[in-house]
Amino acid sequence: MLISLIIPSFNQAGYLPETIRSILSQNDPAIEVLVIDGGSRDGTVDWLKGLRHPSVRWTSEPDNGQADAINKGIALMKGEVWAYINTDDPLMPGCLSRVREVFADERILWAGGIGEIFDDNGVRGEIRFQNAASDKEWLTPWNRHHPYVVPYSGCNFMRREVIRAIGVFDCSYHYSMDIEYYTRAIFEGGFRPILIPERMARWRWHGSSKTMTRGISYAFREDEIRIAERFAGYLSSTEREVLEEELRFERKMLVCRKANSLMAEQQWSMSTSLLVSAVWEHPSLLAFRPWWGSLRRVLNRIDARQT
């Protein structure tokens, strides 16, 4: 069984070598590592040219983002079992042998391990998923019994059959392309992940990642709302009613999240414009206390700068 590992990359020379070493050091004889680089200019390509390992193939050319890079890797891969891995998230020793043990059962189509969260100071925790308690909970990360309902992407393995059933990644998502894909696998493909109860990969927590910048501020929630809207039709009428009520609140909170993020970037005029223009789409913002709080903060800041 060939295992394909797709690594989308762009200007990650500081992390990519460690991640590739974490794969190759497992001495698995039947893997392919596909590095899909977006045209890096930070030394990534020079390092890849010097690697010359029979299990590693790579390309480097401009792309349309992470999802596009993953799709390029899917088009090139030959494995029956596959995963995509971020450049800064290394595998843990024994990960691939454990994957082989699990997928030796041909009935297993989707399995994921536990992700270890770490930073420069050490281990910060873990990502251990469990399946959602209801259909609605697959779609509501803001309101469910367990924060993680699908495997962390760094140790999320699927058979090629999933691709045959639901296709490739949606390039219109730039932050939650993996969550959209896994949600599609659940609702359109009827697949469910099983947990491999061991730490198998490491999620690096650092300030320069897109997760830690606009992602946490608002971009993940923006994608999550889109995902919920897209798959709401799979819910019962009762669950759809509850979801729509939650979405009305989350759409208004998203306006405030974006405005607050712009304030953090000192984009005062843009923040004000966003808050005011959003009222045309969401008139109920005028009765929404968080919106008034954001508006007061930005207007006070502008007033302070003018005096």
pLDDT digits (tens, 9 = 90+) for 142-164: 999 999 999 999 999 999 999 99
Number of Cβ within a 10 Å radius of residue 112: 28
pLDDT over 70 (residue 185)? yes
Please, which pLDDT band fits residue 39 given cuts at 50, 70 and 90? very high
Give the pLDDT of residue 301.
84
The residues that bridge with 201 in the sheet, in sequence order, are: 91, 115
pLDDT digits (tens, 9 = 90+) for 2-33: 999 999 999 999 999 999 999 999 999 899 99
Give the Cα separation of 9 and 142 in Å (integer): 30
Give the Cα separation of 225 and 169 in Å (integer): 17
Residue by residue, what is the 3-state secondary structure of 52-108? CCCCEEEEECCCCCHHHHHHHHHHHCCCCEEEECCCCCCECCCHHHHHHHHHCCCCC
Give the pLDDT of residue 104.
97
Give the Cα separation of 1 and 57 in Å (integer): 18
Residue 151 CA, chain-centre distance (Å), reads 11
Instruction: For the chain, give the longest Cα–Cα distance.
Output: 70
Domain boundaries, the chain: 3-212, 236-306
Stronger pLDDT, 208 or 240, i.e. the higher one? 240
pLDDT over 60 (residue 42)? yes
Average pLDDT over residues 107-117: 97
In CATH, the number for domain 3-212 is 3.90.550.10
Give the Cα separation of 20 and 2 in Å (integer): 17
pTM score: 0.93
What value, to the nearest 5°, has the Cα angle with vertex 204 and ends 158 and 111?
Answer: 15
Please, which pLDDT band fits residue 307 given cuts at 50, 70 and 90? low
pLDDT digits (tens, 9 = 90+) for 226-274: 999 999 999 999 999 999 999 999 999 999 999 999 999 999 999 999 9
